[in-house]
Chains A and B, each alone.
Chain A
Amino acid sequence: MGMGDPLDLLPGTLELLILKTLAAGAQHGYGIAQRLKDESNDVLQVGESSLYPALQRLLLKRWVKAEWGASENNRRARYYTLTASGRKQLPAERADFDRLIVAIHKILNAT
């Protein structure tokens, strides 16, 4: 995925992380990037050219919706919120991701 990211994410992972972040409440793009950076202790630095296409994909699937609102410092910002189907999708995506991780671990731990 994203070019110039400190760490490449597995395909689809960014969408899962966005969904998880938004589960805590509405957030704008910048806010999502900051949360991901902060909570991963600066490991995940998501660039705009990964984040915004991922958000478009989520909009297209209608798992999130976007609305203009005022940001904390009173600037116009586009806030993303989970839709009902997005909320339903989160555990499913999470399960898929867990299966993937288990599979990868299995291969890496094989002797």
Chain B
Amino acid sequence: MGELIRRIREWLRWRRLNDTLAEELEFHRTMTERRLEAGGMAPDAAAAAARRALGSGALAADQSRDVWMAAWAQDLARDGRFAGRMLARERGFTIVVVTVLGLGIGTASLMWVLLDAVCVRGLPIPRVDRVVFVGARDSQKRDIAISYREFDRIRAATPGVDDVSAFANAPAVLGDDDRAPDRAFATYVSAPMFQMLRERPQLGRDFTPSDDRPGATPVAILAAGMWRSRYASDPSVVGRVIRINGTPTAIVGVMREPFRFPSVTDVWLPLSAMPGISTEQRAARALNVVMRMRDDASLASVRSALADEADVLAHDYPATNAGVTLDAVTINERYNGRLTDTVWIAFMLVAAIVLLVACANAANMLLMRAAARSHEIAVRASLGASRGRIVRQLVVESALLACLGGALGAGLSVGGLRAINAIIPESTLAYWMRFQFDLRAFAGLCALCLGTVAVFGLAPALHVASANVNDVIKSGGRGGSGAMRGRRWTTICLAAECGLTMVMLAALVVGIRTARDTGRKFVAVDSANVLTTWVTLPADRYRTTDARRAFYRNVEQRLATVPGTSVVAMAATLPLGGAAPRLLEIDDQPSAPDRMPTVWTVTVSAKYFDAVGVGVARGRAFGDRDGLPGYEAAIVNQRFAEMFFPGRDAIGRHVRLSEANAPAAATPALPIVGVVPSVRQRTTTADPDPIVYVPLAAAPPVSARLLVRGTTSMPTGSSLRDALHEIDSELPLYRTLPMAQALDASQWNGRISEWLLNTIAIVAVGLASLGLYAVIAHAIAQRTREIGIRVALGATRARVVSMVARQAAMHFVLGVGTGVACVFGFARLTEGPAGAQVTPGYQITSASTLAAVAALLAVITAIASIAPAWRACRVDPARTLRES
């Protein structure tokens, strides 16, 4: 270890080592010479004898140096230093190639990290392929959860599996005497869950079967994150009794970082402690079931056993189980994003295209330089450099270029990931989805770029090897068959580059247009001076509908008295915060259950539409009594009215809403009392959904968003908290944010997409302009002599500029030509079987898209030709002619 450090210290002071050795050997020689002179030899003879006696000083110095660094490494270092000097001298070339490679590597590795985290890596569970998720589907093939009785049967009747476990998520409130209450994500799990996942608590113990029995002492296990943030990683928390949803509960364990199965859980509780868990009711479907297959079982055998079990259940309990099927998939298949989703295909394509463009670009520049280098290399070859020596030099140069590109790429991708992670709010992505720099993928991409650079970087060596050194020297690196061949390749690379860039730009133009249209149009809420917070009502004190209704009424009245408050409202979710799907039946359009359309519902209080500032378009808003028994009412959005009552008045019609599994007849018919402007509830769809707003009093939710609008300024969080704690001191407020911020946070998905689109657009434009610049600049540089002659013969500046312009125009035409061809090819390639959902005008082959992209390319070409044109104008005929 110490030896290595001493070696490295010496490498860093290599020049000093050389000087030291030289001086030492010189001293040695002088001393020998003096001794010989003292012995009576003539000075000249003594000097010669001293040299003879001691052999070559250079050899001694070499062998001394070899002690510190192996000879090959010294050669490599020398090549590296030379390559560094070469690259520093051709600064423009180096910067362009490194930027191009860096952008390509950075973008592709960023995309890979996202793809890997969401679609490929999966859950960090030992032998994850043996863990399966049991899915149930109803007669209409919709995913449904599993009831406790079904879970019992699956546990008993599935052969070849261990540790069959069920889980269900629910919000919970953690309370202690000495701390403010916290809202937490709780998951109720059956006892063998952690054993099945092969996870063990870092502190305390796992759940035991006796914890998971009705009437057992309440216990809980904390996630590491909650342990850290709420209890400052205090180990004595194990054994402490805290209140979870008001119930005194003993903490028996703490899991390890970053385990938060199934997604972002803060605290786990035994399944038996789940409020309302019904071990009897077959229609109460609330559970997800996971289990681990034994080595002798196969997924096929488990699936067929489950299918048989579903048949038995359907036969025995037709009322609840008719048509319900059971199936099993591996847990990664259940939780991973699908690589075949359009968005991921698009990401992969974009990443591949950017990388290809970058490689083509780099190859092009290296080829162009090859023509210029071949002269220098021919000179070196004629001076005695071996082919191996020249190739090694070129390889080192290429590797250095690729390394610089790789370093830039690493920096870009790390910075990009940091930006993306900053956009994602905490506890939104499942614990295993981490956007972290992936060294392996990065190394793979670097290898690809290194390969490209090495192959094309070696072009001059091959050229010299195949051509007569004499000819190359005589031609002065200008003409020759090799240069012609190089130019042909350059043209092909540029055409490919333009084609791919145009495909990407066309796709981006369409993407940006679509995003702009859908993103802004339907979020027309006025979020100024609105503060939002999230309240979750502990189940023990607010078990009944009446208790919750009374609470919300209290909150409304209490907050309205806070000075400076103008509107107080509650909603199950904010705009863009999601909505609950329901099956719709319209009074005079009865339909079979499997034909009923799905609409989305949002539970809101009376003043909600005032609070978000959209108002009511027609009819009226909810009143205080709406939603109470006998005062049923519903409000729909304009999208709903257009979809279901085109050309007619929606007000006064009746709708029935039912959950996927419950019979529709049981729900009351709701008269539509108002129509409101369309506000987007979900971020994933292009069009706004048809939404039915139902009054809060009809079904007061356990967890709701509170919206408080100030008259002139944003209400303060503390005024909100004080008022609420007067009503209930153990009520946690969660995510107290101005509404604008809350909306932004819920749009993180869209914002990341937008950020990526913008970044890629900039990268694409950058790569294209660099590529065009390099080619045009090179073409002009090749003609420097010709331009010199023309100027000498009286050509004006305007003539020279028009020459450059012609050159640029030629490349532009070539680029647009291949580009258009590529766009049409790409459209054919990605054309869906139906292709129906493409909005006209948003096709990448539409004339307006192509025109926009061509215009962009024209601007890029113009920018790329400014510098070459300027250089061509400053050609000094006398100097140019003298030089050649």
Chain A residues packing against B (C-beta within 8 Å) = 3-4, 28-30, 33, 47-49, 51-53, 55-57, 59-62, 71, 73, 75-78
Q: Give Cα distance in the complex from A78 to B25, angstroms.
A: 10
Q: Return the chain B residue nearest A4 by Cβ.
A: B55
A47–B55 contact, CB under 8 A?
yes
Residues in chain B near residue A52, CB distance under 8 A? 21, 24-25, 60-61, 63-64
Partner pick for A77 among B6, B7, B27, B60, CB 8 A cutoff: B27
Which of B28-36, B389-397, B647-655 is the interface stretch?
A: B28-36
A43 to chain B, nearest CB (A): 16
Q: Counting CB contacts under 8 A, is B546 at the interface?
A: no
B55–A48 contact, CB under 8 A?
yes
Residues in chain B near residue A48, CB distance under 8 A? 25, 28, 54-55, 57, 60
Q: Give Cα distance in the complex from A12 to B179, angstroms.
A: 72
Q: Counting CB contacts under 8 A, is B68 at the interface?
A: yes
Residues in chain A near residue B6, CB distance under 8 A? 59-60, 62
Q: Counting CB contacts under 8 A, is B56 at the interface?
A: yes
Q: Give Cα distance in the complex from A62 to B3, angstroms.
A: 8
B3–A61 contact, CB under 8 A?
yes
Residues in chain B near residue A30, CB distance under 8 A? 27-28, 31-32
Contacts A33-B28, A52-B25 aside, 6 further interface pairs with beta carbons under 8 A come to: A29-B27, A47-B54, A52-B61, A57-B67, A60-B3, A78-B27
B55–A3 contact, CB under 8 A?
yes
Interface of B is mostly: helix
How many residues belonging to B are interface residues under a CB distance threshold of 8 Å? 28
Chain B residues packing against A (C-beta within 8 Å) = 2-3, 6-7, 20-21, 23-25, 27-28, 30-32, 34, 54-57, 59-61, 63-68
Q: Give Cα distance in the complex from A14 to B6, angstroms.
A: 22
B32–A60 contact, CB under 8 A?
no
Q: Give Cα distance in the complex from A10 to B28, angstroms.
A: 24
B70 to chain A, nearest CB (A): 13
Q: Give Cα distance in the complex from A51 to B59, angstroms.
A: 12
Q: Return the chain B residue nearest A75 by Cβ.
A: B27
Residues in chain B near residue A57, CB distance under 8 A? 67
Q: Give Cα distance in the complex from A48 to B30, angstroms.
A: 13
B43 to chain A, nearest CB (A): 16
Residues in chain B near residue A33, CB distance under 8 A? 28
Residues in chain A near residue B67, CB distance under 8 A? 53, 56-57, 60
Q: Return the chain A residue nearest B20 by Cβ.
A: A78
Residues in chain A near residue B3, CB distance under 8 A? 60-61
Q: Return the chain B residue nearest A33 by Cβ.
A: B28
Residues in chain B near residue A78, CB distance under 8 A? 20, 23-24, 27
Q: Give Cα distance in the complex from A76 to B23, angstroms.
A: 9
Q: Give Cα distance in the complex from A61 to B7, angstroms.
A: 10
Residues in chain B near residue A60, CB distance under 8 A? 3, 6-7, 67-68
B68–A29 contact, CB under 8 A?
no
Residues in chain A near residue B2, CB distance under 8 A? 62
Q: Return the chain B residue nearest A3 by Cβ.
A: B55
Residues in chain A near residue B55, CB distance under 8 A? 3-4, 47-49
Q: Return the chain A residue nearest B21 by Cβ.
A: A52
B56 to chain A, nearest CB (A): 7
Residues in chain B near residue A59, CB distance under 8 A? 6
The 3 closest A-B pairs by CB, nearest first: A56-B67, A48-B60, A49-B60
With A4-B55, A56-B68, A60-B68 as contacts: A49 and B27 at CB distance below 8 Å: no
